[in-house]
Structure 1
């Protein structure tokens, strides 16, 4: 699983930190999203995907990790 943050989009709603506290938090200074775990364990994948879907600003993108040696071209 790869997680990308778009902090410039974040409005600080906190849905990510509430939904997946093992993966996300909020910055103490500005309230925007902070990624706690760049490669969360499979136990956190569902919560991370849900948090991305609940984000009102679409500031979180979750994608499946590419397999080592895989190519994006057929």
Structure 2
């Protein structure tokens, strides 16, 4: 079985660029204030969601392993 992720968006950082929706249209949506929200905060590991996190111009998307909470993105340094 593959990894399960917890996906969240720091709305205090999100600038509403929409890049996450472009990379993962099934993974994110923008609300009327152009703030991003994950469509499934608990989800199977997904390359498009990871690409959305990596492509976010302000790194507002945080992904951790559902079991254990280890960071997936941004990675620990």
Please show how residues 16-31 of structure 1 align to structure 2 within 5 Å.
Answer: 16-28=20-32, 30-31=33-34
- Contact 2:42/2:66 (<8 A) preserved: no
Question: Which secondary structure does the structure 1 equivalent of 2:34 belong to?
Answer: coil
Q: Separation in 2 of the partners of 1:22 and 1:31?
A: 16
Structure 1 gap segments, 5+ residues each? 68-74
Superposition TM-score, scaled by structure 2 size: 0.73
Q: Which of the two has greater strand per residue?
A: 2
Structure 2 unaligned spans of 5+: 69-77
Matched, 1:3 2:13: no
Q: Where is the helix percentage greater, Structure 1 or Structure 2?
A: 1
Aligned residues: 64
- Rg (Cα) greater in structure: 1
| CA displacement at 1:35 relative to structure 2 | 1.5
Q: How far did residue 65 of structure 1 move?
A: 2.4
Kindly report the root-mean-square deviation, in angstroms, between the aligned alpha carbons of the 2 structures. 1.4
TM-score normalised by length of structure 1: 0.76
